């Protein structure tokens, strides 16, 4: 008789049916809130009772008549409507939260659990994945602070999405499965076709599933054993405190993290520290311990999350911020002294060219992330040198109305000298060095609008016979036709005769621009020694960025990359030009 009484008591308190999933009984009713859109509302089901939410409500009431699910599903809703709290101000062209059906109002029902079913409206409205994640995390932040567990369904298939929207939908599914782990409910696999549309057996319309689809969603939700999870949480409460936020002043670059985790009726089973945001430089002494030393910190704001689980599968999180700041003792100083010949200008230091003697300062970043003040002192060494002049014309910069090149650097506010066009590199090659990869001598210099570039050369080159090559950021490298004797105060003019440039016999070596004038071909954007479709593609890509200023790929030097630059390359690529050199 006692055994019979016990069985009857269990039956009344917790009814078990064939196919039921939840079996744990803690003799208390549960209230579950579901936030969603039209599928949650019941669209696609032939009757209210056939919707997956109604089926799940009937299921949990079989377990306990006092159990209830409160449906906040509203057709057309996006995550801004219901996952953002009351008072949130959305970005421009995004809806405000609906205060009657959002997370804030749902919490007034004192839910024990929350289910979120936001399957596809965000993607269909071209909301980015980052936006969707941020809206979900806003609700998760609130739910986590109240220790309310949240289950999230993945995206659902639908028709008439473009490629970008479908990618968004698939990426959202992947994120949900990764982010929510054992509390993610897959509403995609088996429902979607390979194309991401609704499989025919579940099709109601282009957006919604039919009765069979709702039945499948209900079964998948039931298999989550949400009631079991709530009962286990009730039987054991896990709390975590990662500690107080910390502020450090460099050079102090380490901090001891002493967290506290307690479970009312279970034992701590795992501890994991993870970084949420901040600089990537850090090192944990033991990421699996509540007592953890973090070192190798640099300037910035770190946020670390402590994730703890217990033997009853409860999970709790807490975060701690560490702000690492610089003070005067964290600033480092260095000085570099160089003495160079005049022909060694420009002198490159830390990626910047310097064209004259003097003292220069750069503010860099040291290994701590703080300022590093670097000083360069350039002095002029006593070197024997002689001057030599090269004359050339850059096709894209040539102005036929003035018979000169446009002063690009001046026009684009790079320098104050109105006679200067651009930077070029002049290389001097001894005939015996042609098999080498490095020239006998090279120098970066400026070319003026008449085409002249005067350089200083070491005296050991004087009187010798050398090839001369000219390089420019987007021109085809051009070599002298023969060796040139280098003598003081003399000039080699590439521009006055086609025969002045080296030819391999396959293509014309320079561009004819007017009677008696020839120019270096413009258009070798990637500097691979040819002008072709690859260069044109780079220009087309750059033209979409709407940039203005001194740009590497600006063929005509007008400060923008547009159709005029493309036309120069179009005209030259049909000539099948290649760099010609001895």
Q: How confident is the model at residue 17 (pLDDT cuts 50, 70, 90)?
A: very low
What is the mean pLDDT of the segment spanning 128-139?
97
208 token code pair: 């919604």
In this predicted model, what pLDDT tens digit does every residue of 430-440 receive, in sequence order? Answer: 999 998 889 99
Please give the pLDDT value at position 343. Answer: 74
Classify residue 462 by burial, with Cβ atoms within 10 Å: 0-12, 13-18, 19+.
middle
CA gap 84, 61 in Å, rounded: 30
Please give the pLDDT value at position 368. Answer: 74
Q: How confident is the model at residue 24 (pLDDT cuts 50, 70, 90)?
A: low
Question: Would you state the torsion angle of the CA atoms of residues 243, 244, 247, 251, taken in this order, to the nearest 10 degrees?
Answer: -30
Q: How confident is the model at residue 25 (pLDDT cuts 50, 70, 90)?
A: low
What is the mean pLDDT of the segment spanning 376-393?
88
Question: Reading across the β-sheet that carries 385-391, which strands appear in turn?
Answer: 452-458, 385-391, 490-493
What is the mean pLDDT of the segment spanning 233-249?
88
CA gap 310, 270 in Å, rounded: 7
Kindly report whether the global pTM for this prediction surpasses the value 0.85: no
- Residue 538's contacts (CB-CB under 8 Å, 6 or more residues apart) are 525, 526, 553
Assigned CATH for 236-328: 2.60.40.10
Indicate the average pLDDT of the chain.
91
- Of 23-27, 47-51, 265-269, 387-391, the range with the lowest mean pLDDT is 23-27
In this predicted model, what pLDDT tens digit does every residue of 337-379 receive, in sequence order? Answer: 988 877 777 888 888 888 888 999 988 877 777 888 889 898 8
Are 560 and 554 in contact by the 8 Å Cβ rule? The answer is yes
Please give the pLDDT value at position 19. Answer: 52
Please give the pLDDT value at position 533. Answer: 93
Going through 74-153 in order, the beta strands assigned E by DSSP cover 113-117, 150-153
In this predicted model, what pLDDT tens digit does every residue of 269-305 receive, in sequence order? Answer: 999 999 999 999 999 999 999 999 999 999 999 999 9
For the chain, domain boundaries: 15-234, 236-328, 331-380, 385-573
CA gap 426, 471 in Å, rounded: 6
Q: How confident is the model at residue 5 (pLDDT cuts 50, 70, 90)?
A: very low
- Residue 62's contacts (CB-CB under 8 Å, 6 or more residues apart) are 15, 17, 20
Query: Helices 211-222 and 52-63: crossing angle, nearest 10°?
Result: 40
Is 385-573 assigned to CATH 3.30.43.10?
no
- 50 phi and psi, to 5 degrees? -90, -5
Assigned CATH for 15-234: 3.40.50.1110
Query: Does 385-573 match 236-328 at the fold level?
Result: yes
Nearest Cα residue to 393 out of 451, 448, 444: 451
């Amino acid at each position: 008789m006692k055994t019979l009484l016990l069985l009857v008591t269990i039956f009344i308190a917790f009814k078990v049916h064939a196919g039921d999933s939840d079996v744990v009984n803690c003799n208390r009713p549960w209230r579950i809130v579901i936030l969603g859109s039209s599928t949650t509302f019941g669209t696609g089901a032939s009757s209210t009772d056939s919707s997956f939410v109604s089926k799940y409500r009937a299921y949990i009431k079989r377990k306990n008549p006092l159990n209830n699910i409160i449906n906040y599903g509203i057709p057309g809703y996006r995550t801004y409507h219901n996952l953002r709290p009351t008072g949130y101000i959305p970005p421009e062209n995004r809806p405000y939260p609906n205060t009657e059906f959002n997370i804030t109002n749902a919490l007034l029902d004192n839910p024990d659990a929350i289910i979120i079913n936001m399957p596809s409206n965000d993607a269909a409205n071209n909301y980015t994945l980052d936006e969707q994640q941020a809206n979900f995390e806003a609700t998760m932040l609130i739910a986590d602070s109240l220790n309310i567990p949240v289950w999230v369904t993945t995206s659902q298939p639908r028709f008439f999405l473009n490629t970008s929207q479908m990618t968004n939908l698939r990426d959202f599914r992947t994120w949900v499965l990764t982010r929510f782990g054992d509390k993610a409910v897959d509403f995609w696999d088996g429902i979607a076709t390979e194309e991401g549309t609704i499989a025919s057996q579940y099709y109601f319309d282009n957006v919604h599933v039919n009765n069979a689809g709702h039945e499948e969603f209900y079964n998948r939700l039931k298999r989550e054993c949400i009631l079991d999870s709530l009962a286990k949480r009730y039987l054991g409460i896990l709390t975590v405190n990662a500690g107080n936020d910390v502020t450090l002043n460099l050079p102090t670059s380490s901090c001891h993290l002493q967290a506290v985790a307690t479970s009312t009726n279970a034992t701590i089973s795992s501890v994991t520290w993870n970084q949420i945001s901040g600089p990537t430089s850090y090192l944990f002494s033991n990421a699996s311990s509540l007592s953890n030393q973090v070192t190798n910190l640099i300037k910035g704001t770190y946020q670390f999350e402590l994730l703890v689980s217990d033997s009853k599968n409860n999970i709790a999180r807490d975060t701690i911020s560490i702000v690492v700041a610089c003070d005067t003792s964290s600033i480092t100083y260095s000085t570099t002294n160089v003495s160079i010949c005049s022909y060694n200008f420009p002198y490159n230091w830390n990626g910047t060219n310097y064209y004259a003697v003097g003292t220069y300062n750069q503010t860099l970043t040291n290994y701590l992330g703080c300022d590093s003040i670097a000083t360069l002192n350039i002095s002029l060494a006593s070197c024997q040198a002689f001057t030599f002049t090269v004359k050339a014309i850059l096709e894209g910069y040539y102005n036929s109305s003035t018979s000169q090149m446009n002063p690009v650097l001046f026009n684009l506010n790079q320098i104050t000298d109105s006679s200067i066009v651009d930077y070029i590199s002049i290389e001097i090659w001894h005939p015996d060095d042609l098999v080498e990869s490095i020239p006998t001598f090279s120098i970066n210099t400026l070319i003026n609008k008449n085409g002249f570039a005067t350089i200083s050369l070491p005296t050991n080159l004087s009187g010798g016979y050398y090839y001369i090559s000219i390089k420019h950021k987007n021109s085809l490298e051009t070599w002298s036709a023969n060796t040139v004797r280098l003598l003081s105060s003399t000039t080699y003019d590439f521009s006055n005769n086609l025969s002045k440039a080296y030819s391999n016999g396959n293509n014309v070596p320079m561009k004819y621009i007017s009677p008696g004038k020839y120019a270096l071909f413009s258009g070798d954007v990637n500097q691979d020694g040819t002008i072709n479709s690859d260069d044109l593609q780079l220009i087309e890509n750059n033209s979409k960025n709407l940039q203005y200023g001194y740009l590497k790929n600006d063929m005509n030097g007008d400060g923008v990359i547009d159709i005029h630059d493309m036309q120069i390359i179009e005209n030259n690529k049909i000539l099948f030009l290649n760099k010609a050199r001895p």
